[in-house]
Structure 1
Amino acid sequence: MDVKFDFGTVEGERIVYVRPVAVADLPDEVRAHAGNREVIWAVHDADGEQLALVADRRMAFLLARENDCAPLSVH
Structure 2
Amino acid sequence: MKSSNQNNGPVEASNAALSLRQLSVADWQSFGAQEIAYIRPVLVNGVHAMAIHAADGTPIGAAPNAEMAIAAILQHEMAPALVH
The TM-score normalised by the length of structure 2 is: 0.58
Q: Is the partner of 1:68 in helix, strand or coil?
A: coil
- Higher relative strand content: 1
- State the alpha-carbon separation in 2 of the partners of residues 3 and 48 from structure 1: 15
- State the alpha-carbon separation in 1 of the partners of residues 49 and 82 from structure 2: 14
- Map of 1:41 onto structure 2: 50
Larger relative contact order, structure 1 or 2 (CA cutoff 8 Å, min sep 6): 1
- Map of 1:8 onto structure 2: 31
The TM-score normalised by the length of structure 1 is: 0.64
Aligned partner letter, 2:35: R
The Cα of 1:8 is off from its aligned counterpart by 2.4
Moved over 6 A (4+): none
Identity, % of aligned pairs?
A: 27
Largest Rg, 1 or 2: 2
